Amino acid sequence: MRRIKKILASKLFITGILIIAQIVVMFVGIYLLSQWLLPVYIILTIMDILVVLYVVNANISPAYKINWLIISAIFPLASGVLYLMFGSRRVPPKFRREHLASVLKFKPLLKNDEVLSEVSKGDESIYKQIKYINDYSYFPLYKYNKSTYYPTGESMFEALLEDMKKAKHYIYIEMFILQQGKLLNAILEVLEEKVKEGVDVRLIYDDMGSAMYLSRDFNKLLKEKGIKYQMFNPMRPILLVTMNNRDHRKLVVIDGNVGYTGGLNFGDEYINEVSLYGLWKDAGIRIEGTAVKNMTVMFLQFWQASTEQIITLPEGEPVVEFTEEKGYVQPFSDSPTDSEDVSKTAHLNMIWSAKHHLYIMTPYFVVDNETLSALKQASKNGIDVRIILPHVPDKVYMLESARSYYKELISAGVKVYEYTPGFIHSKVMMADDRIAIVGTINMDYRSYYLNFECATLLYKTKALKDIRKDFDRTFEESQLIDMADCLKIPLYKVIIRAVLKLFAPIM
């Protein structure tokens, strides 16, 4: 009962109700006006035709086009307005300008052509993947960095706290979800002490992601502790296209020498302090060395975009090169403010570069035909393709959407697993034990096209052995889904999944 009351009183719930009310009023208004005013009917019809023409000719996935053509057929007078509100991937000009200007400001700081040239002498497909990220996300590759993989949120949280306590100059944190509880309280306690020591502590958190989990006086609490903060894209109880774009990144940078990213938000379920969906499995990566510069710049790009102050790269601890570490790391980010789908392309490049096996952990699997075809073709080409998804979902409709792909994947030879102990939130993709991406990128439309995301590419690093061990252990703990499982589901679920698959591109 207390949880229900908390949800009903939350900013997210109230904002959602107000937006739903506006949608209802919009539909009723469109219907009434179109019935009584011929000019309104003509205008709405023209808008619908223009949306159909735009969608058909746009450079977007075929599945997305089909989806909006069906919506246009179902809601012939409202589809133009609906597309402007929910369908367009276009980021508003001001929003776009602010973020692109910030990216371009810091771009000259990110060059490491010597290491890129060194990798060009090796595997051509991997070099192309690394060069793509270098050229289109502007984040270069580094060597002589120490990378540590954490297969659970608990292990990463312990290491993160210890690193924070050692901070001497600055701590930068960017989170999608902040949830008041044991984990966040422990973090805030350390941050407060660091502020007293003169450490520059800054926090960016997504307003929509955190709205249900924070008290109304949370920002006041941050001010009292001396923590500088920004709320990314604050929610407004009105229909706005910008509400679609969220900061899904999870990033912690300490003194420019240590950086973390992965699936871990600052909430108790991520460290299994509370159990809402069985055992919560997450994963993250810690980078120490020169590559952390990419992460520092990622954070400062965001901070600069939301302030008129002139932000520069701060001085931190002298960065150590770990010459015994022979592998390469490439932290990178992806933004909806440009026309380049870095996250999706990085995943596709990984699929295409696999020669022996491709292993994937993802909490959400809602993909377009291009990604689905790449996975199926890899399997048909003899690659051992395996995907691990949750067995206990945090969002039932997302798991049912993912299950709508099972039959097609299994028919092509892809092995699909469900993590039976509970919910898997890890976002990890690995090919041939030599290259992997660990970060915040889900395999769904929102991560690929609408959200700000970040991850780290690892090539020939020691951490890859730990990632492989984690996959092997998780396979053993998971249920392998076979064709019999796909065929014995009741008819009503077949229909529900078919409908969800139809609307997958906008979920």
Of residues 184 and 325, more confidently modeled: 184
User: Does 432 qualify as catalytic in the annotation?
Assistant: yes
User: Does 165 qualify as catalytic in the annotation?
Assistant: no
- For residues 326 and 345, what is the distance between their CA atoms, to the nearest angstrom? 26
Instruction: Count CB atoms within 10 A of the CB of residue 160.
Output: 25
Catalytic residue among 293, 347, 376, 427: 427
- For residues 296 and 173, what is the distance between their CA atoms, to the nearest angstrom? 10
* Pairing between β-strand 279-281 and β-strand 422-424 as defined by DSSP bridges: parallel
Catalytic residue among 334, 368, 432, 444: 432
- What per-residue confidence (pLDDT) applies to 372? 93
- For residues 147 and 327, what is the distance between their CA atoms, to the nearest angstrom? 9
Question: Positive or negative CA dihedral for 405, 407, 411, 413?
Answer: positive
Confidence class for position 215, pLDDT limits 50, 70, 90: confident
Please say if the pLDDT value at position 15 is more than 70: no
- For residues 409 and 413, what is the distance between their CA atoms, to the nearest angstrom? 7
**What residue spans in the chain does CATH classification 3.30.870.10 cover?**
93-331, 342-506
User: Does 255 qualify as catalytic in the annotation?
Assistant: yes
Class of domain 93-331: alpha beta
Percent of the chain with pLDDT over 70: 79
- What per-residue confidence (pLDDT) applies to 392? 95
Query: What are the tens digits of pLDDT across the range 294-342?
Result: 999 999 988 887 776 667 778 777 788 888 888 999 999 998 887 789 9
Please say if the pLDDT value at position 240 is more than 60: no
- What per-residue confidence (pLDDT) applies to 304? 84
- Pull the structure tokens for residue 124: 């051509």
Catalytic residue among 143, 194, 250, 376: 250
Average pLDDT value for the chain: 85
Catalytic residue among 99, 391, 425, 501: 425
Class of domain 342-506: alpha beta
- Pull the structure tokens for residue 178: 């902040």
- Pull the structure tokens for residue 57: 């000719």
- What per-residue confidence (pLDDT) applies to 90? 56
- What per-residue confidence (pLDDT) applies to 35? 57
Give the HSE-up count for residue 124: Cα atoms under 13 Å, Cβ half-sphere. Answer: 0
- For residues 415 and 387, what is the distance between their CA atoms, to the nearest angstrom? 6
User: Does 444 qualify as catalytic in the annotation?
Assistant: no
Catalytic residue among 146, 248, 391, 501: 248
Using alpha carbons, list the distances in angstroms from residue 347 to 25, 27, 89, 132, 352: 41, 39, 20, 12, 9
Catalytic residue among 207, 247, 255, 282: 255
- For residues 346 and 332, what is the distance between their CA atoms, to the nearest angstrom? 10
Query: What are the tens digits of pLDDT across the range 27-75?
Result: 565 555 555 566 666 666 777 777 777 776 766 666 666 766 777 677 6
User: Does 248 qualify as catalytic in the annotation?
Assistant: yes
